[in-house]
Structure 1
């Protein structure tokens, strides 16, 4: 990447679901984004300082003939180095393939929203894996026939996590649209991440967040128990943290929160912790800068023309995450 390729300042760059990959061999950060198009796909931008970013480059396109609609923009792309290759995880969609409506006991719920932009009838959605030999792709879809989680589940935002024995898992959010009370779940993966290697396990529910205790649902509000954007981080001493996002205040305030597995086991038990960042910010992930700082990147202003990435510095201890302002 040449210096004159750096063109776009961070505060001018629309960003949803940010994922930053530091690549040590060239001292450059990658920022991956889902994009619309014909077909839709994933783009990457480069930066050396996290402040100014290059023009985008397409690294993955939703292929014709796969289970997903190639016109629907992927959600929450992220790239992980694993087994000598780079693995792209992203959520694809097939709105034409309906799934059964939300049910609780013997009652079927037909969900509606005050905001017409929200599609609330369940339809096929799930995380896929694509592979490449380079973080700049091109990435090739491993399995064009379906997502990694069960196809009858409406899922999103899959991320790679390792258990205490170093085995890979896909951790994802199971949509509140299908469950009413959204969950975070995990499914074991084959060693090459090509497919699931067992049945999903339940980690926790959106309603378990301690700050949801005073929540009074309204008939016209979004369901209160959204789960979104899980990301895992091993803490010093072995405990496991799970970042995730939801809504509070009647479904109006998007927030970044987290949970802690003190045992270090992926299956928990999970203890819900405080909101880390509020005010309409969330879907965050942690990474280490080249200077050795722990950074939290998330987006603020989701669904608006001014959605932007936002950085915070994080102090990490054996049982806590403390967020403070980013120092440029």
Structure 2
């Protein structure tokens, strides 16, 4: 009996250990190209004069110069009784400030223990964008408002923040292509303190509106790609409203841009005919360095010699002074501008 009891205790300890988040060793002076991170998003915090980098995986990196980084830090805490569970998967985390003294953590959370649908043989897990909050950039970020921000029967992802011309805050997010088979980008109004959402979402555009994405359908015909990914809203120096977003050209991760004809989130959104960044770059956001220079944070999406996907953060200088976003792409041989 004693052996049985000890075996049970040992099994329980192993199970508990497996349920706990893996510990990470914090390292210093790590160059950007040595970091493996999808969907890198930067907060340039004027209060601390530090750059904070989040992304997929839910970890945080910080830097004084965008060149050498310290991290990774775990900065989130979850209630096991929430729809997300104690240890959700975290995708595309972003940090935002609204001027109220708080730091807001927009991210996609997936509870793999909960299945909400099956479409064309794909079992779809409970996944949604939601907002956490902290009183300093290093967290801990915790849920603080409504139990849910978006419908439980829909997988949604890549929520980002925008305050439109009506003065109201909004979440702009993607509807998962695995369920609707034609990914969407939508908006939903947020409460003034970002503690929840108001009303229902509104469609802004669909994956099929893209003039540049490509894939082959089940019959082998070339058509638009079904994926919508990583929206980021911005204004140019002339006041034109634009949106970066990502899809695929066959098996190449690719990013495009659209501009709103009305100057508001309601659009209509006119898609630029060509991608905005070179092939294999996507899911970007924009921020200003402390010297005022606009930057794009983006990740490259390539395969290594063993066929494993490698995602590395990159920073490009951006010119927003005109009517269109212009990106300075630096290479050893030349410097070109992409618009």
* TM-score for the superposition, normalised by structure 2: 0.82
Are the structure 2 counterparts of residues 218 and 294 from structure 1 closer, same or farther at C-alpha, using a change threshold of 3 Å? farther
2:111 counterpart residue number: 94
Number of aligned residues:
300
Among candidates 30, 44, 48, match of residue 8 of structure 1: 30
DSSP 3-state at the match of 2:138:
coil
Deviation of the 1:264 alpha carbon: 1.1
Alignment of structure 1 residues 267-286 onto 2, 5 Å = 267-273=266-272, 274-286=274-286
1:320 counterpart residue number: 324
2:232 counterpart residue number: 231
How far apart, CA to CA, are the structure 1 residues paired with 2:74 and 2:187?
29
| Structure 2 unmatched runs, 5+ | 1-26, 333-339
Larger Rg: 2
Q: Would the aligned equivalents of 1:121 and 1:177 in 2 still touch at CA under 8 Å?
A: no
Among candidates 53, 67, 72, match of residue 83 of structure 2: 67
How far apart, CA to CA, are the structure 1 residues paired with 2:145 and 2:192?
15
1:38 counterpart residue number: none
Q: Would the aligned equivalents of 2:162 and 2:169 in 1 still touch at CA under 8 Å?
A: yes
Among candidates 296, 300, 315, match of residue 311 of structure 1: 315
1:300 counterpart residue number: 300
2:41 counterpart residue number: 19
Indicate whether 1:141 and 2:143 are aligned. yes
Among candidates 66, 71, 95, match of residue 50 of structure 1: 66
Indicate whether 1:246 and 2:247 are aligned. yes
- Name the stretch that deviates more: 91-100 or 220-229: 220-229
Alignment of structure 1 residues 155-170 onto 2, 5 Å = 155-170=156-171
Indicate whether 1:255 and 2:254 are aligned. yes
Q: Would the aligned equivalents of 1:18 and 1:33 in 2 still touch at CA under 8 Å?
A: yes
DSSP 3-state at the match of 1:61:
coil
Are the structure 2 counterparts of residues 136 and 29 from structure 1 closer, same or farther at C-alpha, using a change threshold of 3 Å? same
Deviation of the 1:302 alpha carbon: 6.3
Q: Would the aligned equivalents of 1:227 and 1:245 in 2 still touch at CA under 8 Å?
A: yes
Deviation of the 1:289 alpha carbon: 0.9
Deviation of the 1:95 alpha carbon: 2.7
| Structure 1 unmatched runs, 5+ | 36-41, 103-109, 112-119
DSSP 3-state at the match of 2:208:
helix
Deviation of the 1:143 alpha carbon: 4.3
- Name the stretch that deviates more: 305-314 or 46-55: 305-314
- Name the stretch that deviates more: 224-233 or 309-318: 309-318
What value does the CA root-mean-square deviation take over the aligned residues? 2.5
Are the structure 2 counterparts of residues 123 and 210 from structure 1 closer, same or farther at C-alpha, using a change threshold of 3 Å? same
DSSP 3-state at the match of 1:50:
coil
* TM-score for the superposition, normalised by structure 1: 0.84
How far apart, CA to CA, are the structure 1 residues paired with 2:331 and 2:95?
26
How far apart, CA to CA, are the structure 1 residues paired with 2:215 and 2:142?
43
Q: Would the aligned equivalents of 2:62 and 2:69 in 1 still touch at CA under 8 Å?
A: yes
How far apart, CA to CA, are the structure 2 residues paired with 1:156 and 1:222?
23
Indicate whether 1:265 and 2:264 are aligned. yes
DSSP 3-state at the match of 1:91:
strand
